[in-house]
Amino acid sequence: MKDVAWRRVTSRKEFVEAYADKVLVGEELRFTIHSTGNISGHVDGLELNGEWYWEDGYFCRTATLNGEALELDCEIIEGCGNQMRYTREKGQGASSVVSLEQDLAE
């Protein structure tokens, strides 16, 4: 089986063009990273809200989950097709993969 070719996203502009203002879905995840700098959605049925910025090649975010503050985290963002992989702790932590939600009308 061929390895998936993930490509790192290196700029805010590239990130916004690929993933901002689109619904991202994963296991028990459904959220939107807005180009305005906000994050909204749900994780395991709990409300997710936050803010994000781009710094030194990393996607950095602060958020609350059901009103409980999550720590600041800066993540490596990679893309492959309609999928986005984010790796916490500047690439040293756990990775998760989400997909762009497809419009059912397509």
Statement: residue 68 has pLDDT above 60: yes
Q: CA 68 from chain center: how many Å?
A: 19
Q: Rounded CA gap, 26 and 50, in Å?
A: 18
Give the model's pLDDT for residue 105. 44
**Predicted model pTM:** 0.90
Domains in the chain, please, with CATH?
7-100 (2.40.128.640)
pLDDT digits (tens, 9 = 90+) for 32-56: 999 999 999 999 999 999 999 999 9
Mean pLDDT of all residues in 11-40? 97
